[in-house]
C-alpha cells in the first residue's frame, strides 16, 4: 500500500479551517466496515470509533468494560473502509487515566494497529499530563468534557452536566487547558447550550457537541441511535433520521414467513 493511499482527505488542519470559516463539522460513530463505508461515502467529516461500542455492539450497560484490544479491533474494521473522513478511536477506560506513559503506549498501539488519524479521551485537568504525552508523540488528540460516560459511577447519573456555576467554570477552564495542551478538537456532551456556545467562542479548536445545542462548531451522534436501531434510548437531544428498528424487524419477519411457507428460494434464486 502506498503512503498516499493511507492518508484521508479530512485532516486536523482542514477541521481547524472549517471552524475559522464557520463551516459546520459533521461527526458520527461507526464500529464496523460496512457501516463505516456507508457513512464515509455519504460525506461525513469525522468518524468516531466510540467506546459506545461497549453499549451498541457488545451490549454492556456502561462503556467501562470495553478493552483496548476490542477498540483496536473496531478501529481496524472502520479504517479499512474509509477513504475520506478523519477517523478518531476512543481510548477505553483504564488505558490512559493516571499514567501518562501508559496513555502514550495505548495511543501508539491504537495508531499503529488501526491506522486511525487520532484518538479521543475523556476528562480535563485530571488527564492533562496524558494528553501532553500523547500529543508530544505527534498523535492528534480530541478531548471530551461534560458528560463523560467513563465516569458514570462517580456521577451516578447520565443527566445534564455543568448546570451549576462551579462545574461550568471548571469545564471552561478544562477546555482551555485541553486546547493549550494541543488537542485538535473537543467533544462537549450533554451540557447547557449557552455554556457550550461560550466554550466554542473561547477556545480556538473545533468544538463538537452532543446534547450541547446549536452553538458548537459541529455535531456528533451515535449512528445506531440516529438510525433508530435502538428503540429504548430517547434522550431529548436525539433526532432520529430513520426507523431501522421497524424496517429491519419487518424485513426479518418477511424472510421468516417466506422460509416457512417455502416461497424462498424461488427458481430464479437457485443454481
Ligand atoms: O463513544 C461515543 O460514542 C462518544 C460520543 C457519544 C461522543 O464518545
Return the residue whose CA atom lies nearest to atom 2 of ligand 1.
Answer: 50
User: Which are the contacts of 240, defined by CB distance < 8 A and separation ≥ 6?
Assistant: 225, 226, 227, 228
Rg of the chain over Cα atoms, rounded to whole angstroms, equals: 20
Q: Is cis: bond before 265, omega within 30 of 0?
A: yes
Show the CA angle centred on residue 192, arms to residues 188 and 198, nearest 5°: 70
The ligand 1 atom at the shortest distance from the C-alpha of residue 208 is 7
Q: What is the pLDDT of residues 120-146, one digit of tens each?
A: 999 999 999 999 999 999 999 999 999
* C-alpha 222 – ligand 1 centre gap (Å): 7
Tally the residues of the chain. Answer: 271
Report pLDDT for 8.
82
Report pLDDT for 4.
53
* C-alpha 264 – ligand 1 centre gap (Å): 40
Probe target for ligand 1 pocket from 158, 210, 233, 237, with the most ligand atoms within 8 Å of CB: 210
Per-position pLDDT tens, the chain of length 271: 455 566 789 999 999 999 999 999 999 999 999 999 999 999 999 999 999 999 999 999 999 999 999 999 999 999 999 999 999 999 999 999 999 999 999 999 999 999 999 999 999 999 999 999 999 999 999 999 999 999 999 999 999 999 999 999 999 999 999 999 999 999 999 999 999 999 999 999 999 999 999 999 999 999 999 999 998 899 999 999 999 999 999 999 999 999 999 999 999 999 9
Report pLDDT for 213.
98
What are the catalytic residues? 189
* C-alpha 21 – ligand 1 centre gap (Å): 25
Helix (H) or strand (E) holding 120: strand 118-120
- For residues 94-123, one letter each, b for 16 or more C-beta atoms within 10 angstroms of the residue's C-beta and e for the rest, the string is bbbbeebeebbbbbebbbebbbbbbbbbbb
Report pLDDT for 5.
60
* C-alpha 65 – ligand 1 centre gap (Å): 15
The position carrying cell 501518562 is 100
Report pLDDT for 100.
98
Report pLDDT for 127.
98
Grid coordinates of 184? 485538535
The ligand 1 atom at the shortest distance from the C-alpha of residue 63 is 1
List all residues whose CB is within 6 A of at least one atom of ligand 1: 29, 48, 50-52, 90, 144, 187, 189, 210, 220, 222
Helix (H) or strand (E) holding 258: helix 244-261
Amino acid at each position: 500500500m502506498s503512503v498516499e493511499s493511507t492518508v484521508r482527505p479530512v485532516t486536523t488542519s482542514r477541521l481547524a479551517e472549517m471552524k475559522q470559516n464557520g463551516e459546520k463539522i459533521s461527526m458520527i460513530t461507526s464500529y464496523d466496515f460496512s457501516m463505516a463505508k456507508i457513512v464515509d461515502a455519504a460525506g461525513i467529516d469525522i468518524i468516531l470509533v466510540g467506546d459506545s461500542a461497549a453499549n451498541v455492539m457488545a451490549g454492556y450497560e456502561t462503556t467501562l468494560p470495553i478493552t483496548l484490544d476490542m477498540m483496536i479491533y473496531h478501529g481496524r474494521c472502520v479504517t479499512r473502509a474509509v477513504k475520506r473522513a478523519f477517523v478518531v478511536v476512543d481510548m477505553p477506560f483504564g488505558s490512559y487515566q493516571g499514567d501518562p506513559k501508559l496513555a502514550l503506549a495505548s495511543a501508539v498501539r491504537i495508531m499503529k494497529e488501526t491506522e486511525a488519524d487520532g484518538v479521543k479521551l475523556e476528562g480535563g485537568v485530571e488527564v492533562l499530563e496524558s494528553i501532553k504525552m500523547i500529543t508530544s508523540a505527534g498523535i492528534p488528540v480530541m478531548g471530551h468534557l461534560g458528560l463523560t460516560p467513563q465516569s458514570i459511577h462517580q456521577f451516578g447519573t447520565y443527566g445534564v452536566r455543568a448546570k451549576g456555576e462551579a462545574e461550568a467554570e471548571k469545564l471552561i477552564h478544562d477546555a482551555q487547558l485541553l486546547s493549550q495542551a494541543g488537542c485538535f478538537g473537543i467533544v462537549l456532551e450533554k451540557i447547557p447550550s449557552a455554556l457550550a456556545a461560550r466554550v466554542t467562542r473561547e477556545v480556538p479548536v473545533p468544538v463538537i457537541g452532543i446534547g450541547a445545542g446549536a452553538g458548537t462548531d459541529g455535531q456528533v451522534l451515535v449512528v445506531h441511535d440516529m438510525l433508530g436501531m435502538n428503540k429504548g434510548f430517547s434522550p431529548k437531544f436525539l433526532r432520529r433520521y430513520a426507523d431501522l428498528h421497524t424496517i429491519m424487524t419487518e424485513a426479518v419477519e418477511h424472510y421468516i414467513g417466506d422460509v416457512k411457507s417455502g416461497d424462498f428460494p424461488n427458481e430464479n434464486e437457485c443454481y
